Structure 1
Amino acid sequence: MRTKLFFLLLLLASLLWIWLRSQTDLEQYTLNGATMGTSYNVKIVEPVTHIIDQTALHNDIDSLLYDINHIMSTYIENSEISLFNKAPAHEWISISQNLCDIFNVAIETSRKSSGAFDITVGPLVNLWGFGPEHNASDLPSEVDIQARKNRTGFQHLKIQNQPPAALKSIDSMYCDLSAIAKGWGVDRVAEFLESKGYHNYLVEIGGEIRAKGVNVHKGPWRIGVSSPNELSGIQKVIEVLDVGIATSGDYRNYFEMGGVRYSHTIDPRTGRPITHNVASVTVIYTSCMMADAYATAINVLGLEQGMMLAEKENLPVLMIVKTENGFVEKKTPSFEAYISK
């Protein structure tokens, strides 16, 4: 009798151990696809007992990104931003709440960066061959640059929150959301996952990231910051839990002419590609959209002014700077806490 009882208790203990392990062991699901002219990757970590309908979730994410693209892309003729760009100036144009929120964040970042970040830079982006317009075979003239600059300026974009509407106070204004679109898309996908009950995930679109909870090993998410040196791969590894990460750099998207390299990042204040020695800027922020916007603003500002903005806003920032002896790192004090030891 005692032997039977012993084996019964042993069986129950074994079943309890198996059940407890099933509740604590984690599995990672990976979904990926194409969006915004780049790729996206979503990693979701759940207990092994929680089965995910990956096909349905994948379809939902694709549908969400399709809708986002049709708000923000200047490459889609009937997207909301394209229709706004075609709308007449000096009239209030009804816009979606989403676009209104994006405009508000963009204008706030423009003010904080003294115009280094400016979504009305579109005419200049196109002039230099980095937008939907056909790439020019020659460099733009000073006359062309000044003519395009006259069509820019965030101060000429007026926003009304209720009901959401926007007004362009100069003719031929053209807004380009590429410096904020991927970050906003990341945030929207993250919010969608939250609404579905997922709290351990990593969302990445074209290098912009938002991570929450833990990875499959029950630790913080480990993110590699790319090195501008193609031979080095990863410059720095950071560990994050509930933040967004964005990087702005000039070492992948550029063109060369006459032996000179021209960055895709346009300084709205000069109308020309940036020429300083900052190769990349990585920003950590609770919102990936804000990280995206600040990364662009700081990259335009350059080392000294960029660091001043980062420290004023208490931003965790990593700059990789080109020198005669190679690349060096410049960090704000708050970035140190994220570096993997």
Structure 2
Amino acid sequence: MANTVFNNTHINSLQSFSKRHGITILILSIFLASCNPTKSYVSNQGAIYGTIYHLTYESPNGKDVQDEIEVEMQKLNSSLSTYDPEAVISKVNKNEEVVLDDYFLTVFNRAMEISEITNGAFDITVAPMVNVWGFGFKNKEQVTQELIDSLKTITGYKKIHLKDGKVVKDHPNTMLDCSAIAKGYACDVVANFLREKGCENYMVEIGGEVVAYGENAKGKAWSIGISNPKDDEFLVNQSLKAVVKLPSKALATSGNYRNFYVEDGKKYAHTIDPKTGYPVQHSLLSSTVLADNCMTADAYATAFMVMGLEKSIELANSVEEIEVYFIYSDEDGNYKTYASNGFKSHLVKEN
């Protein structure tokens, strides 16, 4: 059997786990699988969280466990989807009595940690600010300083905390949205499930976020492609900016591949700063983060899109648990890249 290549995974999540402050995100994932008589690999794909997932795993006895995996993913959805009125997070947002499950607590606690490390660049209360601007800033004419000031009173990660097993809010109208971390965590949940099933080699990809462990059916490290930003409205003509080997690591990308504006010949990302309520102005177009778990990679990738290139490089160099790869626009509007030293060791090729 020939190698199977999955690509063109275009993330435009508008449903339960819509991502990145309304930003379109793109990552191309390459999954190498083949028929090998000494190993039995299973591949699954489907729709979840408003995006597409791909799984490839060496399953004991060749058993396909897709149905069981989807049950696990739906459990997470019942905890963290703001589109499900009965989900734990929805009841928290409505100030209803609810028992916080392990999914919610794991994500909430990690989100608070990364919010503190990034000085609020990552913030699970920012959704109202993002929504008021609209996708691509389509509502910008309706945004006033008075409106932003009113939203500031209900946003900010320091306005929420856990006490006696409950989320306590400084303001009852504060809303939580974990979409910028939950999809990465979903990859971790599926990966943990596969390990419990005895799978020693696997790749889990949900909407461009990836967890890989061991090797593919060809006995090599899993390879993931990061797309090259292009001014291509329909994303038809695409190429890879880099290919990354992913032995026993997680990878997440946040970026603006179509959703940016040009001023004086320079491209700027459409991203809202949770602290100001206004768009940031910097040249970072894509941030890719390597970490031991995808929840962490996912959150940092989002935070870096708020922070911009210089601050992101400074922070990334101080956080030992991550490695980074940034695509940005220089003063002439050309695409440039930055890779941390640890990330460079994972690069297979770069265009």
TM-score of the superposed pair, with normalisation by structure 1: 0.82
What does residue 19 of structure 1 align with? none
For 2:173 and 2:305, how far apart are their aligned partners in 1?
Answer: 27
1:153 corresponds in structure 2 to 156
Q: Could you tell me which runs of 5 or more consecutive residues in structure 2 were left unpaired when the two chains were aligned.
A: 1-34
More helix by share: 1
Overall identity of the aligned pairs, in %: 35
Q: Distance in 1 between matches of 2:44 and 2:259?
A: 26
Q: Would you say 1:52 and 2:38 are equivalent positions?
A: no
Displaced runs of 4 or more, over 3 A: 135-139, 252-256, 261-265
Alpha-carbon distance in structure 2 between the residues aligned to 1:307 and 1:187: 26
Distance 1:232 1:146, change over 3 A: same
| Cα RMSD for the two superposed structures | 2.5
Return the offset for 1:125.
2.3
CA distance in 2, matches of 1:115, 1:168: 17
Whether 1:43 and 2:43 are equivalent positions in the alignment is no
**Does the 8 Å contact 1:39/1:206 carry over to 2?**
yes
Partner of 1:271, secondary structure, is coil
Q: Is the 8 Å Cα contact of residues 95 and 172 (structure 2) preserved in structure 1? A: no
Larger Rg: 1
Structure 2 counterpart of 1:337, which letter? Answer: S
List aligned pairs for 1:252-267, cutoff 5 A: 252=258, 265-267=271-273
Q: Distance in 1 between matches of 2:325 and 2:156?
A: 28
CA 253–25 in structure 1, closer or farther in 2 if over 3 Å, else same: farther
Q: Which residue of 1 aligns with 2:339?
A: 331
Partners in 2 of 1:97 and 1:70 — Cα distance? 12
CA contact (8 A) 1:200 1:212 kept: yes
Number of the residue aligned with 2:328: 321
Q: With a CA cutoff of 8 Å and minimum separation of 6, indicate the structure with the bigger relative contact order.
A: 2
For residues 250-293 of structure 1, give each alpha carbon's deviation from its aligned partner in whole angstroms, at most 9, with x where no partner exists. 2255799xxxx996642101212333110000000001000001
Q: Does 1:95 align with 2:95?
A: no
| SS at structure 2 position matched to 1:155 | helix
Per the alignment, residue 93 of structure 2 pairs with 85
Determine the C-alpha separation between the residues in 1 that align with 2:46 and 2:238: 27
Partner SS for 1:63? helix
CA shift, 1:232, in A, is: 4.5
Q: Is the 2:40–2:62 contact (alpha carbons within 8 Å) kept by the matching residues of 1?
A: no
Structure 1: where are the runs of 5+ without partners? 1-21
1:139–1:263 Cα change, 3 Å: farther
Q: Give the residue type in structure 2 aligned to 1:157.
A: I
Task: Tell me which amino acid in the other structure corresponds to 2:116.
Answer: R
Establish whether residue 120 from structure 1 lines up as the match of residue 133 from structure 2.
Answer: no
Which residue of 25, 41, 59 corresponds with 1:28?
41
Q: TM-score, normalised by structure 2?
A: 0.80
Q: Look up the match of 1:63.
A: 71
Match of 1:273, SS?
A: coil
